[in-house]
Amino acid sequence: MRSRGRGLGYAVAVVALLTFFLGPFVWQVLTSLWPDDQLGRALPRSLTVGAYASVLGGRPFVRWIANSLAVAAATTALCLLIGTAAGFALAKLEFRGRRLLLGAALAISMFPPIATVSPLYLALRAVGLRDQLAGLVPPYATFALPMTLWILSSFFRQLPDELYQAARVDGCTPLLAFRKVLLPLAAPGLFTTAILVFIFSWNEFLYALTFLSSPEKRTVPVALSLLAGEHKEPWPEIAAASVVATLPLVALTILFQRRIVSGLTAGAVKG
Amino acid sequence: MSRGAPSRGGSLAAERRQAYLLVAPAVAVLAAVALYPIGAALWLSLHRHIVVFHERSFLGFANYRFLLADARFWSALGHTAYFTVVAVSAELALGLPLALILHEARRGRGLLRALVLIPWAIPTVVAAKLWAWLLNPSYGLINRLLGGADINWLGHPVLALHTAIVVDAWKTTPFVAILLLAGLQGIPEDIYRAARVDGASSFRIFRSITLPLLRPALALALLFRTLDALRVFDAIYVLTEGGPANTTETLSLYAYKTLMRAGDFGYGATLSVVTFLCVALAAAALVRGLGRGWEEAR
């Protein structure tokens, strides 16, 4: 039984933590509706969507959103395509180097991006992909592909071996057994992976900042980081742009928190 | 582990061949975008290479000798280490109570978990921007709550780095809490029930049962967060760009400026390689230390 005092302490702790973790974002939403000429006041006397109009209308912001969408979607597609095959092999097939590959993937996901940025810059320039959105996809695989391999292999491992073996005994090759039996069952795992890879790609900053130089090619985080430099601290506009850039992620998180949590802890639980 | 049921002799070899075929694309991509660049950065760090002048000449270890005497490098290393230790400690200290609260929640646990995850999901650039606004000297909410104080958080040599720590803790504590929550959920309810029957106090239960059994999850959170904090870039770049007077400049930031602002790819690569080595050393030390702790706990 929980005593009343403990219930009160619990409530206070919940409110304090929620205030700390959500308050800043709520304040950002309020700021985005704050009229520019009332910034000196403690609270606005009226609210306006002017900042949204100016962000979505006056700047290539929609273009930046489209850029981010394109890069994140392409990275997700690439990683799922090559990661699903590898994830299945890692989970269900016996071959030398299995552990080495999983270990290497984990190590690579810990690489500081700054360590790879200079050779990647020179390589992308050499093949004409510097300052191209497509040029971001291979570097993004450095963090996205290891994540894909870990989540998917742990997901495939949870599917019963018997299913796969029954299909093999029935005369399927490993590939056919994978495609006809395991792949349909793995749909939730693929979806979980897709959400996580998408979020990480959408948020990536260092590579996008380094490899892209044309203003119209910026991704959302890079564009946001440079908004202040172009005007004199347009705080409501920065806030409105942040809210627009964040809403898709907030929606994904609230809708799919269970999957996100299972994906984040997938490889982790085994240590 | 026995996988696949080989019905004929050659079947196992065939399965192995198919396995290699299936992992080949992933291996090729990882080699091209991660292993090759690390090797190339190492090679580049032995050169003088100024991109705009197409200038490139072999130097041997001269860049590394320069680095050892480079005061700016040592202070960047110091800032990175300080940032990592303080930020990760704060994240574990905040993440544990947060995980306990999420675990306790009877009603609305899903919604609570989703709300707490929001800072994790938003881009670090956005997180840094919204804190920069909260801490704005003239209009920011924080100074107002402090009774109209006039503190220039991001312009102060000591406060600025701590501001970056707050942003990092705000953004990543939810991830720590989620890892710890998974650990908490793995502790069987029976153990708690038995302890309660034996009359153990809540604090005693927490200290003698929850904390030891949570050790693997805590170790994992510590490892992930430390390696991530050592490469910190986004938040500090947006908040201060390393200023004021380089007091918030971390290794990643110094390497970035050397590469992209000065165009010095030789020394920039040297700084990146050293950053990489720092992360690798920290990883090795943590895995060893935590592994030993595990053995002892058994």
Question: Cα–Cα distance between B28 and B108 in angstroms, integer?
Answer: 45
B38 falls within a domain: no
Of the two residues A231 and B250, the one the predictor is more confident about is B250
CA atoms of A89 and B214, how far apart (whole Å): 32
Min Cα–Cα distance to chain B from A18, Å: 7
CB distance from A44 to chain B under 8 Å?
A: no
CB contact under 8 A, B234 and A82: no
Q: Average pLDDT in the A32-52 region?
A: 88
Tell me if chain B has a CB within 8 Å of the CB of A166: no
Residues 50-69 of B with CB under 8 A from A: none
Whether A250 sits inside 8 A of B118 (CB atoms) is: yes
d(CA A261, CA B225): 17
Among candidate residues B90, B94, B99, the one with its CA nearest the CA of residue B210 = B99
The reply to whether B32 falls in a domain is: no
Q: Which residues contact B35 (CB under 8 A, 6 or more apart)?
A: A108
What percentage of chain A exceeds 90 in pLDDT? Answer: 61
Residues of A in contact with B268 (CB under 8 A): 118
Cα(B161)–Cα(B81) distance, integer angstroms = 12
Give per-residue pLDDT as tens, B51-91.
888 888 999 999 999 999 999 999 999 999 999 999 999 99
What's the CATH number where B272 sits? Answer: 1.10.3720.10
Is B22 part of any domain? no
Q: What confidence tens digit (pLDDT) does each residue in A221-261 have?
A: 999 998 865 556 788 989 999 999 998 899 999 999 999 99
Could you say which architecture CATH assigns to the domain A59-270? Orthogonal Bundle (1.10)
ipTM over 0.90: yes
**B38 with A115: Cβ contact below 8 A:** yes
Which residue carries 């996008």 as its tokens? A208
Q: Are B101 and B113 in contact (CB under 8 A)?
A: no
Closest alpha carbon to A102 in A89, A112, A115, A113 = A89
Give the pLDDT of residue B264: 95
Residue A192 CB partners (closer than 8 Å, separation 6+) = A151, A155, A256, A259, A260, A262, A263, A266
Number of neighbours of residue A129 by Cβ within 10 angstroms: 18
The CA angle B34-B36-B39, to the nearest 5 degrees, is 110
Residue closest to B84 by CA, chosen among B223, B218, B180, B211 = B223
> How many Å lie between the alpha carbon of A22 and the closest alpha carbon of chain B?
7
Whether A61 contacts chain B with CB within 8 A: no
Of A118, A235, A258, the CB nearest to B269: A118
pLDDT at B8 over 60: no
- B220 lies in some domain: yes
In chain B, positions 73-132, which contact chain A (CB-CB < 8 Å)? 97-98, 101, 104-105, 110-127, 129-131
Conformation bin of residue A211: beta by default, left when phi > 0, alpha when psi is -120 to 50: alpha
CA gap B137, B132 in Å, rounded: 9
One DSSP character per residue, A49-93 reads -HHHHHHHHHSTHHHHHHHHHHHHHHHHHHHHHHHHHHHHHHHH-
How many other CB atoms sit within 10 Å of the CB of residue B92?
18
Contact A168 B269 (CB under 8 A): no
Q: Is residue B31 situated within a structural domain?
A: no
Burial of A166 per CB tally in 10 Å (0-12, 13-18, 19+): middle
Residue A24 and residue B123: Cβ atoms within 8 Å?
Answer: no
Instruction: Give me the residue spans of the domains in chain A.
Output: 4-32, 59-270
pLDDT in tens, B94-143: 999 999 989 988 778 888 889 999 999 999 999 999 999 999 988 899 99
> Which candidate from A22, A149, A268 shows the least CB-CB separation from B179?
A268
CA triple A177-A182-A185, angle to 5 deg: 150
Please tell me whether residue A258 adopts helix, strand or coil conformation: helix
Q: Are the beta carbons of B230 and B53 closer than 8 angstroms?
A: no
Binding-face residues of A in 103-162 toward B, CB within 8 A: 104-105, 107-108, 110-123, 138-139, 141-142, 145-146, 149, 161
Task: Give residues with Cβ within 8 angstroms of A25, minimum separation 6.
Answer: A246, B118, B119, B122, B130
User: Using a CB cutoff of 8 Å and minimum separation of 24, what contacts does A101-105 make?
Assistant: A101/A149, A101/B23, A101/B26, A101/B27, A102/A149, A102/A150, A102/A153, A104/B30, A105/A145, A105/A146, A105/A149, A105/A150, A105/B30
Averaged pLDDT, A53-64? 85
Judging contacts by C-beta atoms under 8 Å, the chain A residues touching residue B216 are 271
Report the interhelical angle of B11-30 vs A98-109 (nearest 10°).
20
C-beta atoms surrounding B134 within 10 Å: 23
d(CA B205, CA B195) in angstroms, rounded, equals 7
Contact A253 B118 (CB under 8 A): yes
Domain count across chain B? 1
Residue A271, chain B, CB below 8 Å: the answer is: yes
Q: Any idea what DSSP says for residue A270?
A: G
Q: Does residue B63 belong to any structural domain of this protein?
A: no
Say if the Cβ atoms of A110 and B125 lie within 8 Å.
Answer: no
B275–A contact, CB cutoff 8 A: yes
Q: What is the structure's pLDDT at B3?
A: 47
For residue B233, what pLDDT band results from cuts at 50, 70 and 90?
very high
Q: What are the angstrom distances between the C-alpha of B276 and each of A36, A112, B16, B148, B279?
A: 44, 6, 34, 43, 5
Identify the closest residue of chain B to A246 by CA–CA distance. Answer: B122
- The beta-carbon neighbor of A28 closest among B112, B130, B237 is B130
Strand partners, B56: B49
**What pLDDT shows up at residue B290?**
85
Mean pLDDT of A122-135: 96
Q: What part of B 203-232 touches A (C-beta under 8 Å)?
A: 216, 219-220, 224, 227-228, 230-231
Both structure tokens of A269: 């639980």
As a whole number of angstroms, the distance between CA B249 and CA B239 comes to: 11
Q: Report the pLDDT value the prediction gives residue A239, as an integer from 0 to 100.
A: 93
Task: Choose among A86, A118, A253: nearest Cβ to B114.
Answer: A253
Amino acid at the residue B54 = H
Say how far apart CA B59 and CA B54 lie, in whole Å.
Answer: 16
Q: Give the residue numbers spanning the domain of B183.
A: 72-297
